[in-house]
Amino acid sequence: MNRISSTLRFCLAIVLCMTGIVQFSPDKPSRAYASADWPVTATMGNENGGPVFKINGTPVVPQFLYGSTMKIHANYVPFLDTINMANSRDVHVKFWINVLDDMAWNEQVNEDVFQRDPGAYGILRIGIADEQLFDLSADQYAVTERGLRSGWPSLASADWRNQLSDLVTDYIAWLKQQPYSDRILGFQIMNMDSGEWYFDSNSEARIGAGEDYSPPMVAAFRQWLSEKYATDSALQAAWNDAGVTLASAGIPTLAERDYSAERFFRSIETECKAIDYQTFYSKKIAETIDFAGDCSSRRPAGRRCSAPCTVITT
């Protein structure tokens, strides 16, 4: 698989998780199957030795234009002007931002984009952790070892997930009523530092190095340990700690997570505590991405509106 093909396949895996099901194979065309009531289908395949990106069966230029339409930067005219240049090169797939709490803003932005390019296809960036979206108590936010609160809710917060589900459901219901809904290919779900699902390595004033010592995350880690080890004795043997229990296990300190006797490698025999937390936290990020994508698959009264993304690699 060449570099271009790999990149495009990865991009589709990220952004099509709210409108359909993506299947990838190096030998067969990769498809993003839209659900029965989402009126657009994107496919990725290899033809004549190279990648071919199709929308509703028609080949399109496999290049994407990204522009910021964040509310804090209200002047997005430079992005609109760039659309004109992209059009001149037959590039019609654009990334831009919608928000979950202001449909009037979304309507203005979306209509401005389609006015510049009526033939555009959109991949909408959606932030799912902006503080103003939620009504959460302080203990539902991720915090560092020193008690500093990060800029996003804890990934393990059930309160945050419940509110997010309602917001996304309402947003998708609104979007499906818009005249350009058949021009929306998918969504890029944004969270954590810069919206790119990674944690800042500087914990001076925000989250750092994968830290989250909030009550929801501690509880989730202990549950994960219970499922992995089942008994206190098994946990104690793995961690080389006769005093730890499944009910009392804590998240490793920053010093414990930074240390490695082998520098680039960790010892299962002596550093399993840090290994367990980093494995758990990575899985929690992936599980949260799945959850956010699945939020779009529910309508009010439990009716389904689109399938969550499934990525199949062989």
Q: Do 23 and 312 contact (CB within 8 A), yes or no?
A: yes
Average model confidence (pLDDT) for the chain? 80
> What average pLDDT does the segment 274-283 reach?
93
Residue holding tokens 């430079």?
78
pLDDT for 186: 85
pLDDT tens across 256-271, in order? Answer: 888 888 878 888 889 9
pLDDT for 38: 65
pLDDT at residue 140 is higher than 90: yes
Report the range out of 48-52, 157-161, 305-309 with the highest average pLDDT: 157-161
C-alpha dihedral over 230, 235, 238, 243, to 10 degrees? -170
pLDDT for 37: 56
Residues 242 and 237: their CA atoms lie apart, in Å, by 7
Estimate the crossing angle of helix 232-239 against helix 272-295, to 10 degrees. 120
pLDDT tens across 4-16, in order? Answer: 444 444 444 444 4
Reported confidence tier of residue 117, pLDDT bands at 50, 70, 90: very high
Q: What is the pTM of this model?
A: 0.79
pLDDT at residue 20 is higher than 80: no
Query: Is beta strand 64-66 parallel, antiparallel or unpaired with respect to 93-98?
Result: parallel
CA distances from residue 94 to 62, 67, 90, 105 in whole angstroms, order as listed? 11, 8, 12, 18
pLDDT tens across 214-237, in order? Answer: 999 999 999 999 999 999 999 999
> What average pLDDT does the segment 83-105 reach?
92
Report the range out of 126-135, 213-222, 283-292 with the highest average pLDDT: 213-222
Reported confidence tier of residue 34, pLDDT bands at 50, 70, 90: very low
Burial of 126 by CB count in 10 Å (0-12 exposed, 13-18 middle, 19+ buried)?
Answer: buried
In our burial notation (b when 16+ CB lie closer than 10 A, e otherwise), range 212-241 reads bbbebbbebbbebbeeebeebeebbebbee
DSSP 268-283: TTT-HHHHHHHHHHHH
Reported confidence tier of residue 2, pLDDT bands at 50, 70, 90: very low
Element (H, E) at 84: helix 77-88
Residue 165 phi, psi (nearest 5)? -60, -45
N-terminal to C-terminal alpha carbon distance within the chain: 12
> What average pLDDT does the segment 113-138 reach?
92
